[in-house]
Structure 1
Amino acid sequence: MSAKNLDSKGRFKARTIGFRVSPEEDQLINSAVALSGLTKQDYIVKRLLCRDVVVQGNPRVYKALKNQLAEVLSELQRIEN
């Protein structure tokens, strides 16, 4: 018998949930996940259960913020021209 896959708090998660989203929704979800510093699974579960998403600073969050601000800057430069 194989070992059970436990999460970081020692809980066994045996159910899988899947759903479809549009490309725009996927982009928004991925952006929010990157800025949160959580895994996609942890972020979606917290949001679905109406729990607070607390952002803990780390290199992944820093990189996501940097990329997001670069996109904002390029859009502002495009508008200025």
Structure 2
Amino acid sequence: MEKALDRQGRWRSKTVAFRVSPEENSQIEMKVRLSGLTKQDYIVSRLAEREIRVVGNPRVYKALKNQMADIYEELQRLTSAQEVTPDMLETLQVIAITLNGMKEGSE
């Protein structure tokens, strides 16, 4: 098996692992799906404080569609605005930023 280099031609030979709660994992997974990046590329970019550029592709559009469907179901279930969780608000913010960035990229 041939080893892959990163974009700067460096070997990625070190493993970094850490534990997260199920809720934190859900948030990470959602942000990774909406970014269109691999989890590794997303986490490395965020840790290096690099801007994440979302490029619209079928995988990103599907992730946006699925996430919006989940939010729609949750909003239908709610009876008042007080029931909206901070996690849902963060998810909505990430989707709005993603869609806004995709719109700006197409202009």
1:11 aligns with 2:24: no
TM-score by length of 2: 0.67
Q: Percent identity among equivalent residues? A: 59
> Partner of 2:69 in structure 1?
70
Aligned CA distance change for structure 1 residues 76 and 46 (closer, same or farther; 3 Å): same
> Partner of 1:39 in structure 2?
38
> Partner of 1:59 in structure 2?
58
TM-score by length of 1: 0.86
Q: In proportion to residue count, which structure has more helix?
A: 2
Q: Deviations over 1:13-69 (max 9, x none)?
A: 111111111111111000000000000000000000110000000111011100111
Aligned CA distance change for structure 1 residues 17 and 79 (closer, same or farther; 3 Å): same
> Partner of 1:20 in structure 2?
19
Comparing 27-36 with 9-18, greater Cα deviation is found at: 9-18
* Bigger RCO of structures 1 and 2 (CA < 8 A, at least 6 apart): 2
- Give the unaligned 5+ runs of structure 1: none
**Runs of 4+ in structure 1 over 4 Å off:** none
Question: Secondary structure of the residue that 1:11 maps to in structure 2?
Answer: coil
Deviation at 1:10, TM superposition (A): 2.8
**Count of aligned pairs:** 79
Q: CA RMSD in A?
A: 1.6
Letter in 2 for 1:67: N
- Give the unaligned 5+ runs of structure 2: 80-107
Instruction: Please give the alpha-carbon distance, in whole angstroms, between the structure 1 residues aligned to 2:70 and 2:26.
Output: 13
